[in-house]
Structure 1
Amino acid sequence: MTITTSEPAVPHYTPAPVTKEDLEYADLEVIDLSKANTPEGVARLAEQARDAMRDKGFFYVINHGLSPEETTRIFDIADVVFTQTTEEEKERYKSKLLETGSYQGFKQRQYWHIDGGVLDQVETYNIHRDVGRKGHPEALRPVLPEVARFAQHNHFNVLYVILRLLAVGMELPEDTFVKQHEYDADSETYVRFMKYYPRSEEDEIKTNNVWLKGHTGG
């Protein structure tokens, strides 16, 4: 993914400042993808990734091939989806995940029940890697080529590397999982933009600070 001076202008998204609260953060493994270019590096990372998924279920990825400028740009584009789209369009392009199983489109706030009568406060927009498969809100259309490049970069340069590491770590043929996630396969692989909205203290108590119930991804 490369940004050029001819890309459509979009408003800059300013993220919230880092919290000053004294929080107990999870100690997650950091997978450095730049070390996956030698057999020795792959062996070490495969063991690290396997253990991280077995013990904690998550890990960070660094040196994924996207520059800070490209990362900032994709956050700007993501914000367009939520702030430059009318409620009418959000309704028009909402996903029908319960009816069809497809997440493509908007998942609006207060869709899932969390606990104690509290509904979720997470808004998402999912774009299939084939960005032309379905229609999109007007504000997003000029930047769809960038979203497509972002999806392609992550599929080949991040996802495939991780899938190979996990296969090696599990002592399987290296391309075992890659073959199950072919880029051109008819699947629900997509770019997901997410926005979390604040909740009241009362809702935090009712849900014991849980924002989404346990779930899996495939």
Structure 2
Amino acid sequence: MPTATQSTDMLPIIDFGPFLLGTKEGKITTARKMVDTMKEYGFMYVINHGIPQDDQDKMMEFSRRFFAMSYEKKMKCPHPDDGAHHRGYSSLGKEKIAQMGDDVNKKNVPDIKESYDMGNENLGICNFWPDDEDIPGFKDCIEHYWKICDETTMNFLRAIAIGMDLPEEFLVEAHSNSENQCRLLHYPPTKEEDLRNGDADRISAHTDYGTITLLLQDECGGLEVEDPYNKGVFIPAPYIKGSLVVNTADCLQRWSNDTLRSTMHRVTAPPVVSKTGYTKERYSIPFFVTANHDVIVDALPGTFSDEKPKKYGPITVGDWMTMRMSAGYKAS
């Protein structure tokens, strides 16, 4: 486990333990560090976040077991062809993460990955599950992990609110029945040459759509984050055991009147490549946080003034997410 003062090439490491202890000083200090990091980098490692290591390990193991199943078994819970709601299994190349403004050639480069999505069923959106006989315990494990991530998210939202001089429950109330999504991702071995030459992607450079993202990743490597001081230059964000990678997403950037940064990131060839010329397979589990769909996103108090006017008009979270998600999903 890293110490609170360590950092990687780019990303700061935030120790969330003092916030969870609940002292006024610990909460304020942690909150300010978190918000300052979101302003400057948009990305951070968070340690002592409250999700037990055993739960992280179990979820990663179930992810490996799910993707090791046959195509026929995985397709018992297929993702619907539209991208309005992410649920179920998406096979290799079905989804293409497209960034608004991407040229046609870039949009046609396939993302070499497969995924499985589940989310909040309280919104009337059903999850699609594999047969329990094919992978016993999978449903219970991912539902448990979703709940723990949701609880952790609420603490992060409290910290962000405090760090922005808002009431502590301000953002929590906006996420009381949110469309948070847990995604299992598998990037199979891919020709390193194809990734380096741009003939294939794992995930091309993009920003996330919602409020924040909590990422659990394995040891493989390949996640890269754009340097905020060198546009187009990407720096590795390697695995740190026990940590979560947390980033600002587009809706929160808009909500904060561009005070908080939503940073471009991608997954490409990991730094260590086998002698076969193929990359190692990679597993990761992002937890995408999105506010209630009826919440109106308008510049937060304290983020605008006569000298810094509002950059965006109001929009509901539902309209924002539908617009962004439909643009980023390609049916096959």
Relative to the length of structure 2, the TM-score reads 0.51
Q: 1:147 to 1:203 in 2, by over 3 A?
A: closer
Amino acid at match of 1:67: P
Indicate conservation of the 8 Å contact 1:49/1:165, yes or no.
Answer: yes
Structure 2: distance between partners of 1:142 and 1:208: 34
Find the counterpart in structure 2 of residue 64 from structure 1.
Answer: 49
In the other structure, the counterpart of 2:160 is: 166
In structure 2, C-alpha distance between the alignment counterparts of 1:207 and 1:175, rounded to whole Å: 46
Give the CA deviation at 1:82.
0.7
Unaligned runs of 5+ in 2: 1-7, 99-105, 211-332
Q: Which whole-Å CA distance do the structure 1 matches of 2:201 and 2:115 have between them?
A: 20
Cα distance, 1:208 vs structure 2: 9.8
Equivalent pairs, count: 188
The residue number in structure 1 matching 2:4 is none
- Residue 137 of structure 1 deviates from its aligned partner by 0.9
**How far did residue 118 of structure 1 move?**
2.3
1:15-38 alpha-carbon deviations (Å, 9 max, x no partner): xxxxxxxxxx64212222211021
Report the aligned-residue RMSD: 2.7
Query: Which is worse superposed, 72-81 or 87-96?
Result: 87-96
Q: Structure 1: how far apart are the matches of 2:112 and 2:200?
A: 15
Structure 1 contact 113–119 (Cα < 8 Å) conserved = no
C-alpha separation between the residues in 1 aligned to 2:88 and 2:167? 35
Structure having the higher strand fraction is 2
Give the equivalent residue in structure 1 for 2:112: 121
Matches within 5 A, 1:45-194: 45-84=30-69, 86-96=70-80, 99-110=82-93, 111-112=95-96, 115=106, 117-130=108-121, 133-138=126-131, 139-140=134-135, 142-156=137-151, 158-182=152-176, 185=177, 187-194=178-185
Greater helix share, structure number: 1
SS in 2 for 1:46: helix
Does 2:191 match 1:206?
no
Question: Using a 3 Å threshold, how does the CA distance of structure 1 residues 93 and 173 change in structure 2: closer, same or farther?
Answer: same
C-alpha separation in 2, matches of 1:77 and 1:202: 29
Question: Could you tell me how far apart the structure 2 residues matched to 1:39 and 1:31 are?
Answer: 17
Identity of aligned residues (%): 23
Q: Deviations over 1:86-138 (max 9, x none)?
A: 31243342223x62511111232213177284200122111114499333112
| Residues 175 and 70 of structure 1: CA distance in aligned 2, closer, same or farther (over 3 Å) | same
Quick one: structure 1 residues 197 and 26, their matched pair in 2 at CA, closer, same or farther if it must change by over 3 Å?
Answer: farther
Distance 1:48 1:142 in 2: 38
**SS state of the match for residue 205, structure 2?**
coil
Evaluate the alpha carbon distance shift between residue 56 and residue 209 of structure 1 in structure 2; reply closer, same or farther with a 3 A threshold: farther
Relative to 1, partners in 2 of residues 1:44 and 1:68: Cα closer, same or farther, differing over 3 Å?
Answer: same
Preserved CA contact (<8 Å) 1:43 1:169 = yes
Contact kept in structure 2, 1:105 and 1:125, CA below 8 Å: yes
Aligned 8 A contact 2:37 2:43 in 1? yes
State the TM-score, normalized to the length of structure 1: 0.74
Instruction: Say whether the 8 Å CA contact 2:18–2:27 is kept in structure 1.
Output: yes
1:197 matched to 2:188:
yes
For the residue of structure 2 that corresponds to 1:181, the secondary structure is: coil
Distance 1:73 1:170, change over 3 A: same
Mapped contact 1:116–1:206 kept (Cα < 8 A): no
5+ residue gaps in structure 1? 1-24
Tell me: CA distance 1:101–1:180, structure 2 relative to 1, closer, same or farther (3 Å): same
SS of the residue corresponding to residue 170 of structure 2 reads: coil
